[in-house]
């Protein structure tokens, strides 16, 4: 990531970090919250506070729900960290929009037009139309390609001369993997079309940088080389390309060719009135999948490699290795019926989640435990509970292997309800394939150098990893 992007991430994060430092506790009986006026841009204190690893622990010492003011954000925010409240506000009971769905900020991903920013009926319609495309079955069809991608990525990592003794950074490899996995999922049914999507990587990176720049004061655009303008040019190129591919595919389908990827499902999908998605809808669907599945998956995988090489006990690692060895030929059904691998991924997500809370905008008034939350309020459902459990900092598979003292449903790494992460099946599958392929063909150990903890924006723990073929 270049320095302007890092600055941008920091700015978003420090806005979020304002949660702690600018805590304005409001009476939980107050019927009509009045919103305090907010400083316009975040200050250094926010960044330092949020960057502190104990931040998530402290959140849980605040009352819930509680109003906070957030510098750099659009309004005050209702913080919720009780699991039942978090589930309630994330569920169908509250109509909401993801805060990054604020159209002003997400025009790059389609604003109100896309599933990110659409609300109510339109959101439901887009969700219904995309359901089949993101189903488990759709994922299964692309399994061999995803498996090749995982293997090639690991081979590439091992080819780096530093991978032998010093160790390498995993993040850039997993960024490429996450993007390519979305392309495979989208157009894996046709090799030429898949390659065209894969070729859009640099354009997508421009969009990713431009998105972060949306959170910065406009004058910085002059100093950062016009990140936003570049991003909109890249967006136009991607939409044009996806539209071309969609048209080509539609013709091929009309000629009787049969495909089994997300693109064909999106083209075929009809709502109750027989209407389908437009080319533009499909273009934005691709961008939304990339936007939601790029940093999250790559950072989570990088963190998991840190756990594997630094934190997981030999006993747990041996149990996992044994299960993976028992698979023989790898298949989607192996990975979905694998209690230990499943526990391993869930425990990784519990200990350190790239996104410990979901920030949303209420699209209608609601009341939560006596607190009135007017439409257009921001609220944050904080769902990382790991630090509250006794010994919660330790990586222990047994939590997800029948430990009765542990409530497995408290933690919602992909959210819940009508805004639940659309790509969670893909994310889980990608992560499982990479871990399985790692344990089958490679040895990963701790490299030389200190671990880097990033607690701002999407979070990450990374340390150099040595990796070599078995």
- For residue 364, report the phi and psi dihedrals to the nearest 5 degrees: -145, 165
Please count the other Cβ atoms lying within 10 Å of the Cβ belonging to residue 404.
5
The single-letter DSSP state of residue 444 is E
Closer CB to ligand NAG, 125 or 399, in the complex:
125
CB contact at 8 A, 28 and 80: no
CB of 314: closest distance to ligand NAG in angstroms?
Answer: 23
Total number of residues that touch ligand NAG (CB under 6 A): 12
User: Site for ligand NAG (CB under 6 A): which residue of 3, 61, 273, 367?
Assistant: 273
The answer to whether 123 contacts ligand NAG (rule: CB under 6 A) is no
User: Site for ligand NAG (CB under 6 A): which residue of 271, 369, 393, 407?
Assistant: 271
Residues in binding site: 421
Binning the chain into helix, strand and coil, the percentages to the nearest 5 are 55, 10, 35
Give the residue from 38, 1, 6, 4 showing the smallest Cα distance to 21.
38
User: Site for ligand NAG (CB under 6 A): which residue of 32, 202, 254, 329?
Assistant: 329
Residues in binding site for heme: 421
Give the residue from 52, 55, 79 showing the smallest Cα distance to 68.
79
Q: How far apart are CA 40 and CA 215, in angstroms?
A: 11
Sign of CA dihedral 461, 465, 469, 470: negative
Give the residue from 144, 207, 170, 199 showing the smallest Cα distance to 301.
170
CB of 403: closest distance to ligand NAG in angstroms?
Answer: 24
Closer CB to ligand NAG, 82 or 122, in the complex:
122
User: Site for ligand NAG (CB under 6 A): which residue of 7, 35, 232, 327?
Assistant: 327
Intra-chain end-to-end CA distance of the chain, in Å: 31
Give the residue from 82, 127, 78 showing the smallest Cα distance to 362.
78
Provide the angle, in degrees to the nearest 10, between the axes of the packed helices 171-187 and 201-213.
110
Q: How far apart are CA 267 and CA 264, in angstroms?
A: 5
CB of 336: closest distance to ligand NAG in angstroms?
Answer: 10
Q: How many helices (H) and strands (E) does the chain have?
A: 20, 11
Closer CB to ligand NAG, 80 or 341, in the complex:
341
Closer CB to ligand NAG, 322 or 326, in the complex:
326
Question: Which one of 96-104, 244-252, 258-266, 325-333 is the stretch in contact with ligand NAG (CB under 6 A)?
Answer: 325-333
User: Site for ligand NAG (CB under 6 A): which residue of 64, 96, 309, 334?
Assistant: 334
CB of 270: closest distance to ligand NAG in angstroms?
Answer: 10
The answer to whether 326 contacts ligand NAG (rule: CB under 6 A) is yes
- Mask: binding to ligand NAG, 176-215, rule CB under 6 A, as x and -? ----------------------------------------
Closer CB to ligand NAG, 54 or 326, in the complex:
326
Side-chain half-sphere CA neighbours of 99 within 13 A = 19
The answer to whether 442 contacts ligand NAG (rule: CB under 6 A) is no
Question: Which one of 101-109, 134-142, 312-320, 329-337 is the stretch in contact with ligand NAG (CB under 6 A)?
Answer: 329-337
Name the site residues for ligand NAG (rule: CB under 6 A): 121, 125, 271-273, 326-329, 331, 333-334
């Amino acid at each position: 990531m270049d320095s302007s992007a890092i600055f941008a991430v920091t700015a978003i994060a420090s806005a979020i970090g304002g949660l702690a430092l600018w805590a304005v506790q409001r009476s939980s009986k107050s019927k009509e919250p009045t919103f305090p006026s907010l400083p316009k841009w975040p200050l250094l204190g926010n960044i330092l506070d949020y960057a502190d690893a104990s931040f998530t622990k402290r959140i849980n010492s605040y009352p819930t729900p509680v109003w906070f003011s957030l510098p750099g954000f659009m309004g005050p925010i209702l913080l919720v960290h009780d699991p039942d409240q978090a589930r309630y506000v994330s569920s169908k009971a509250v109509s909401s929009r993801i805060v990054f769905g604020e159209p002003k900020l997400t025009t790059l991903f389609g604003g109100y037009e896309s599933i990110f920013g659409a609300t109510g009926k339109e959101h439901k319609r887009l969700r219904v139309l995309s359901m089949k495309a993101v189903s488990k079955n759709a994922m299964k069809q692309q399994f061999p390609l995803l498996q090749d991608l995982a293997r090639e990525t690991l081979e590439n990592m091992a080819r780096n001369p530093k991978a032998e003794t010093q160790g390498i950074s995993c993040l850039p490899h997993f960024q490429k993997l996450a993007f390519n996995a979305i392309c495979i999922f989208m157009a894996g049914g046709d090799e030429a079309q898949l390659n065209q999507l894969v070729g859009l990587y640099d354009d997508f990176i421009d969009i990713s940088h431009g998105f972060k720049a949306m959170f910065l004061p406009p004058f910085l655009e002059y100093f950062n080389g016009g990140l936003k303008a570049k991003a909109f040019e890249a967006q136009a190129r991607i939409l044009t390309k996806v539209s071309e591919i969609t048209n080509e595919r539609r013709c091929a389908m009309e000629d009787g060719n049969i495909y089994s990827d997300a693109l064909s499902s999106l083209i075929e999908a009809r709502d109750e009135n027989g209407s389908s998605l437009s080319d533009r809808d499909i273009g934005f669907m691709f961008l939304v999948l990339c936007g939601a599945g790029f940093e999250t998956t790559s950072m989570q995988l990088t963190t998991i490699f840190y756990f594997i090489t630094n934190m997981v006990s030999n006993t747990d690692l041996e149990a996992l290795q044994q299960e993976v060895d028992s698979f023989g030929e790898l298949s989607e059904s192996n990975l979905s019926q694998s209690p230990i691998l499943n526990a391993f991924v869930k425990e990784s997500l519990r200990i350190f989640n790239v996104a410990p809370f979901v920030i949303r905008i209420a699209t209608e008034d609601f009341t939560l435990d006596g607190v009135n939350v007017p439409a257009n309020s921001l609220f944050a459902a904080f769902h990382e509970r790991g630090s509250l459990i006794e010994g919660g900092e330790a990586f222990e598979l047994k939590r997800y292997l029948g430990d009765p003292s542990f409530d497995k449903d408290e933690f919602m790494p992909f959210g819940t309800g009508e805004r639940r992460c659309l790509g969670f099946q893909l994310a889980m599958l990608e992560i499982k394939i990479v871990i399985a392929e790692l344990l089958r063909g490679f040895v990963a150990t701790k490299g030389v150098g200190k671990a880097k903890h990033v607690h701002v924006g999407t979070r990450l723990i990374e340390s150099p990893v040595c990796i070599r073929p078995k």
